[in-house]
Amino acid sequence: MLNIRCLKIRNHALEGIPPGQSLETLDGDQIMICDYDGIFRGSYNFKIYNRVAKFFEVVAFNLVRREYDYVDSLVSGASRVVVDSAMAAPILGKIMEISSDVVFPYADAGMAETFRSMGGHDFIASRQISGPFEICYNAGPALHLDRYIDVLDFPEDLLSFL
């Protein structure tokens, strides 16, 4: 069974670390960061990504819309970045040319196929998905299936993006 913890960033502060623990004492190798400031205001918390990346492999759920925000996310320590599923195909193509460490929200099966046609293979969803993929981060009820990584404590208010 594979799973990862999800932390949130709101108003430039990291949230979700259990009482009595510190960032460096959390279990696991990977952490998903849901960057509310980035998603809703375009104000990404790259310094916090860098801090968390000192201890964990970071999956940044920040729904970037531009290629330079994608690059800045990677440079700031994210090993994978969840992009906005509504971005234009040419921009997605440019991002895919930069790196294949893109995670695509499985909100629209048509756009998921476009993503696959560009060489994309990693998704995030709140349910089982169809078609080929390498990894799917599951933000819904635990699936415990091969190639799915269940995301613990994914914010319910962000499920609409999946």
CA distance 26 to 81: 21
pLDDT at 131: 86
Per the DSSP assignment, residues forming a β-bridge with 150 are 3, 138
Q: Please tell me the pTM assigned to this model.
A: 0.95
pLDDT digits (tens, 9 = 90+) for 101-126: 999 999 888 899 999 999 999 999 99
Which is it for strands 57-64 and 13-15: parallel, antiparallel or unpaired?
unpaired
CA distance 5 to 140: 13
Task: CATH number of the domain at 54, please.
Answer: 3.20.20.70
Q: How many domains, the chain?
A: 1
Domain extent, residue 137, equals: 3-161
